[in-house]
Amino acid sequence: MAMTENLLSALKHVFHNRGITYKDAAAALELSEVSIKRLFSEKNCSLLRLEKLCELANTDFTQLLAIAESQQQQLTQLSLQQEKMLVSDIRYLVVAVCIINRWRFEQILARYQFSEAQLTGVFTKLDKFGLIELLTENRYRLKVSRCFSWLPDGPIQTFFLESVLQSYLEGGIQNDASHFRFIWGMLTKESVNELNRKIHRLLDEYTHIAEQDIKIPIENKLTSSLLIMFRENWEPDSFRQHWK
């Protein structure tokens, strides 16, 4: 029973990340949305139904088990207060992003303008914030899972939108490996749902590839970032001014 609860909790997390709704799950199992909500709330699901829901989410039991184990041991999100503390000092956020990407103490020290004492102090703060467990010789155990994400509209996202986004977009396309495209189209509600599922799968794939590359030495990697934004039923104000 506990295993089923853990798998359903992991599956719910996958659904959320990939934009899969209770309505989608209801259609896959030929049940009502009320029945699906009850299934998740009561943590009661047969193996056959769980398998069908895995197919809907393009995942399998092995992946779900890994996510469930990660959820039990590690954080998938920080609290509002934890995020506020991270943005209270840019040094905390710089180091937090580094350690989420599994940088070692000496690698951060080599890249950024910290003295050893300063960086040790930041590590101590991040231990206090609950992001890491500080070990001997400036080693650490990361307390966030591979499914980790910042709070929607939380302090970290707000910081990036207000302080980083403009610089990010102004940088332009510097090489063939960078991409920027703006596409306009008219979509039905069903197509919007399908597009959102594919966007979430792309985000999952980016995270998976980054996870695979963790074992590659930092000197053989480049810092990368992926920004995706989709808006439904939106037009620029300059267009709306000409509406009848």
Verify that 85 and 66 share a domain, yes or no. Answer: no
Strand locations in 122-184 (E): 132-134, 140-142
* ∠ Cα 224 151 96 (to 5°): 50
For residue 237, give Cα distances in angstroms to 241, 242, 243. Answer: 6, 9, 10
Q: What is the pLDDT of residue 222?
A: 86
Q: Is residue 85 part of a domain?
A: yes
Q: Quote the domain boundaries for residue 193.
A: 172-220
Taking only the tens of pLDDT, the chain with its 244 residues reads 567 777 888 888 888 778 888 889 999 999 998 898 888 888 788 888 888 998 998 888 888 887 776 666 567 788 899 899 999 999 999 999 999 888 999 999 999 999 999 999 999 999 988 888 898 889 998 888 766 788 989 999 999 888 888 888 876 666 777 788 888 899 999 999 999 888 888 888 888 788 778 878 888 888 888 888 899 988 888 888 888 8
Q: For 26, what's the count of Cα atoms within 13 Å in the CB-facing half-sphere?
A: 11
Q: Is residue 14 part of a domain?
A: yes
- Domain boundary (41, 73, 105) is at 73
Q: What is the pLDDT of residue 71?
A: 62
Verify that 178 and 207 share a domain, yes or no. Answer: yes
Q: Is residue 167 part of a domain?
A: no
16 phi and psi angles, rounded to 5 deg = -60, -45
- Domain boundary (100, 121, 142) is at 142
Q: What is the pLDDT of residue 74?
A: 67
pTM across the whole model:
0.63
Place of tokens 């989420």: 100
